[in-house]
A and B are shown apart, each in its own frame.
Chain A
Amino acid sequence: MEQKQETLLEIHDLSVSFRMYGEGLSQKDLQVISNLHLRIRPGEIVAVAGSSGSGKSLLASAILGILPSNATVKGHVHFRGQELTPQMQRELRGKEIALVPQSVAYLDPLMRVGRQVDGASKPRPTQQRRRLFRRLELPERTENLYPFQLSGGMARRVLVSTALLTEASLIIADEPTPGMSLEQALEALKMFREMADGGKSVLLITHDIDLAFEFADRVAVFYAGTTVEIAPVEDFRAGPEALRHPYSQALWRALPQNGFVPIDGFQPYAGSLPQGCLFAPRCPHATEQCHRQTPPIREVRGGEVRCFYGA
């Protein structure tokens, strides 16, 4: 129980599947997240990196309880030591747990930006919101614009501001920085860092992993719907030798500043996951055991890795 108290959010063995129609009326379950583990402590930024379609955004939806109705969730999510039930999720979201959504299409296209960030119940523009807009370099007139009049980067900053205005103790930021200039992205991340230093927690889902390396405490790497490595951020700054999983190493090497070299192959599709280790078909070190057995998650050098050989 000791450990539960210093953990804000604990995800244990989480699986998410979708019920889909196949031929005619036959249905099948498509598993998109499997055996996922993650723990977030108060005051911590955990960056979630990984391939597109590895279930990062679905994890956010699963925590908030906003998955579509054909989804089935198994496993455990604890918030402040309590099992997160659908009713709790309804009460907590937007208050205790806030989301910065991935798509700028989440903005109401028919409402002026200032009004939708303030909240429809507030009749006047709030000072707090105006201060935040200034800090995010959104010009004063932005509040009177409609979403279609914003540039991509401006719309992102508006989305970020909605979450920063809440009193939430956990912010789930799903790709908050694309379209922002480097300076603006750094400013937004700095604000998340300040919130974390003030005791709040941030789950930062991002592809700008080089930026995440500057601000996060730990990095969780997702592949094909599961966690393959969770490592202290220093290991990612240090480079591939300090990393435990071959996929994390491949991510590092594909960065434009580190070689721009992609590994061959593609992430397996949810309907046709390979047996054994999900990364084995693309792994340069895969052995026969990897193709047969799913590796368990192991603790290695202060991090966790789902690989038989990660060291």
Chain B
Amino acid sequence: MKYTLNVNGQSRTVDVAPETPMLWVLRDALELVGTKYGCGVGQCGACTIHLNGVPTRACMTPVSTVGRMKVTTIEGLAPSPTKLHPVQQAWCDLDVAQCGYCQAGQIMTAAALLKDNPKPTDDDIDGAMAGNICRCATYTRIRQGIKHAAGLTAGGKEVAQ
């Protein structure tokens, strides 16, 4: 089946089986490999993307259900090619990642949190991030990174890549 999707602001057409999860549409068909496979059952959050701004598990989202919803992946999160999203900038500033495999999912979830709640408390952060596993256990810096990003956002600071 052919599907025309709105991915990172671009119209992209793919020819795949209707039940194909968005995870594999992105990774194999569209060559957007920032979205990761970790469990395939919605447990780890490594495949988190935004559908109309809402953090969603790409491994559990058949392509046939996406329609005209706006798909945003880690590759499309930055506001421009020369400017990082505040969460991405915070991740670099604080050296949050270790192996880095889960971090696209962490960043997508954190970005959605800050959009809804620009000044999250520790409990807010833990609550929002509980669905994202980091096997390297970078949780200490993920908490710091989100607070740092909240500061960047609040300060309206322009961040250059």
Partners in one complex: no
